Amino acid sequence: AQKITQTQPGMFVQEKEAVTLDCTYDTSDQSYGLFWYKQPSSGEMIFLIYQGSYDEQNATEGRYSLNFQKARKSANLVISASQLGDSAMYFCAMREAMEYGNKLVFGAGTILRVKS
């Protein structure tokens, strides 16, 4: 079974600074995908970024980048130039193939607070 570990229950960052949220994963699959989702206080799940296991380049989406280190089995999220609106819970997740379809296996999450 796959497992996602997020070791930082909570993080603080100063507005306009960069922050890294840690994620390590455990899988024996050769093909897999890693995601980051943002959950603001309103509760919805917002997709941020995706990295496939065969992608050689780190994924980037605007201010979000995924620092993918396959040998270390880590997929850290980097948020550059933090904004107050980035305050939220952040989940790392891995796509796990089932007999039909895929499910997402989530970590426990990291709460990020951006200070002004």
Partner 1 sequence: NAGVTQTPKFRVLKTGQSMTLLCAQDMNHEYMYWYRQDPGMGLRLIHYSVGEGTTAKGEVPDGYNVSRLKKQNFLLGLESAAPSQTSVYFCASSYSIRGEETYEQYFGPGTRLTVT
| Residues contributing to the site for partner 1 (CB under 8 A) | 4, 33, 35, 37, 43-45, 47, 50, 52, 91, 93, 95, 98-109
- Of 81 and 108, the one with the shorter C-beta distance to partner 1 is 108
Q: For residues 16 and 103, which CB has a smaller minimum distance to partner 1 in the complex?
A: 103
**Alpha carbons 22 and 5: distance in angstroms, whole number:** 8
For residue 30, the minimal CB distance to partner 1 (Å) is: 16
Look-up: residue for tokens 């995601």? 35
**How would you class 84 by CB atoms within 10 Å of its CB: exposed for 0-12, middle for 13-18, buried for 19 or more?**
exposed
Number of neighbours of residue 87 by Cβ within 10 angstroms: 18
Residue written as token pair 């200070």: 115
Closest separation in Å from C-beta 53 to partner 1: 11
Q: Kind of pairing, strands 19-21 and 74-79?
A: antiparallel
Q: Which is nearer to partner 1, 105 or 114 (CB)?
A: 105
CB of 15 to partner 1, least distance (A): 27
Q: Closer CB to partner 1, residue 65 or residue 110?
A: 110
Q: Minimum distance between the CB of residue 20 and partner 1, rounded to whole angstroms?
A: 19
